[in-house]
Amino acid sequence: MEDEKYARELEVAVRVVHVACALCGRVQERLLAKDIVSKDDDSPVTVADLSVQAITSWLLSKTFGVQNVSIVAEEDVETFAKDDSAGLLEAVVNTVNESLAFASVYGLQIPEATLGTSEVLEAIGRCNSTGGLSGRHWVLDPVDGTLGFVRGDQYAVALALIEDGKVVLGVLGCPNYPVKTEWLNYHYQYHQTTTQLSPTTPDAWGKGCVLYAKRGSGEAWLQSLIPENTTLEWPNCARLIRVSSVNDPALATLCEPVERANSNHSFTAGLAHSVGLRKQPLRVHSMVKYAAIARGDAEIFMKFAKSGYKEKIWDHAAGVVIVEEAGGVVTDAGGRPLDFSKGTYLEGLDRGIIACSGVTLHEKLIDAVYASWDSSNL
C-alpha cells in the first residue's frame, strides 16, 4: 500500500530528531568556549553538531542495519584532527552516551554498553555518502544555524530521506521555536531569564517543536518537543499544520536570513519592495524559516546566494518537503523544482530559492525576479 510506504522510516526519523533536539537543548544550556571549534571555512562547529551526527548515524544503523543506511551529512571526523580538539572529542563521546541512554523514552534502542571513542568516530565517519540519482540516502544537518545555536537563538535539526533523487520525507526539529506562535515575539533568551525567576518550566509554554511530512500525503504535522525526563508516553500527539491563506503581498510576512555572509540581502529587499511587501521581515536563523511558512507564521522565504556560493542539499531537503505537503510552493527563482539528485549540492539552481505559502504570491515573486534581475547588481 502506497500509504504505508516510508511510514516506518518516518516514524523512526521523528523519534531520532526528538532525541537530537533534547541533546541540543542540554548542550546549549551549558555551552562553553571549549565546546566550539572553527572548520576550515571559519564556520563554527560544536559538541552538538558532532554528537547529533553520531547519534543519528548510530540509531539509524541500529534500526535499519548498517549495510542499509547511507547518510549525507555536514560534519566529518576531520574536525578532530585539529590541535585544539582533544577536549571536543571527549565532550562529544560523553554527550553521545548521555543522550543514547534516554533513547528508550522515545521508543528507540539503546546501546548495550557505553560507546567508546572509536565507535563514536566510526558513527560520525559513516556519514560520508554523497547522495545522487539512485538509491536511498538519509540527509542530515545536525545543527542548522550553528550561529543561532551558539547565541541561544533559533536553530534546527534537519533529517530527510531521498530515494532515487527525490525527497520522500522530512523532519525538522526546532528546539527554540515555540508551539504557540504568539511567543515568537519574545526573544528566547529573554524568556529563559524570566523562567529562571519563576517556578514554571520552559516546557510549560511549549518551547520547541518537531515538524514532519511524507511526500504525496498532502499532510504536514507538528509535535511539541518531549523532554527526556518526561512521564509522557510515546507516541507524542501531533496536529496537522497548513500554510497561511494570505495572498496579498501587503499583508505577507517575509522570512529573512540573519547572516549576510552567503545571501544577497539588498536584492531580496529590492524584490520585496517591488512586489509590495510592507510588513517587517521575520529574521530567523536556519531552516526555521521553512517551519515558519509551513505553520502559517510567515508567507515567503527568498534566498539569493552571493556569487560562488553553492546551496547544499541538507540546508533545504527537510524544509522543502514539509512546506510543500503543508500546501506551499518551493522552486528556484526560475520557477523550477529544486533538484536533489545531483549529490551534495543543489546543482543547476536558477539564481536562488523562493518558498511561498501559495501559488499567487509565488507567481508574483517569480515575475518580479525576471523584471528586476537584469538591473540588479548580482
Q: Identify the active-site residue in 46, 56, 95, 146.
A: 146
Q: How far apart are CA 91 and CA 51, in angstroms?
A: 9
Q: Give SS3 for 299.
A: coil
Binding site annotation covers 144?
Answer: yes
Binding site annotation covers 2?
Answer: no
Q: How far apart are CA 287 and CA 316, in angstroms?
A: 7
Number of residues written out for the chain: 378
Q: Identify the active-site residue in 49, 153, 297, 332.
A: 49
Active site residue 46: no
Q: Where are the alpha helices (DSSP H) in the chain?
A: 7-29, 47-64, 86-100, 117-125, 146-150, 188-197, 265-275, 288-295, 317-325, 359-372
Q: Give SS3 for 225.
A: coil
Q: How far apart are CA 361 and CA 365, in angstroms?
A: 6
User: What's CA 310's distance to the chain center, in Å?
Assistant: 18
Binding site annotation covers 41?
Answer: no
Active site residue 49: yes
Q: Quick check: 133 and 248 in contact, CB under 8 A?
A: no
Name the residue among 290, 291, 256 with its Cα closest to residue 271: 256
Q: Quick check: 272 and 361 in contact, CB under 8 A?
A: no
Rg (CA), the chain: 20
Q: Give SS3 for 376.
A: coil
Q: Which residues pair with 223 in a beta bridge?
A: 210, 238
Binding site annotation covers 42?
Answer: no
Which grid coordinates belong to 259?
547572516
Dihedrals phi, psi of 348, to nearest 5 degrees:
70, 20
Q: Quick check: 178 and 206 in contact, CB under 8 A?
A: yes
What is each CA distance from 80 to 30, 33, 333, in whole angstroms? 21, 16, 38
Q: Residue 138 carries which side chain, given as an amino acid letter?
A: W
Tell me the CA end-to-end span of the chain in Å, nearest whole number. 48
Known binding-site residue numbers for Mg(2+)? 74, 141, 144, 315
Catalytically active residues are 49, 146
Known binding-site residue numbers? 74, 141, 144, 315
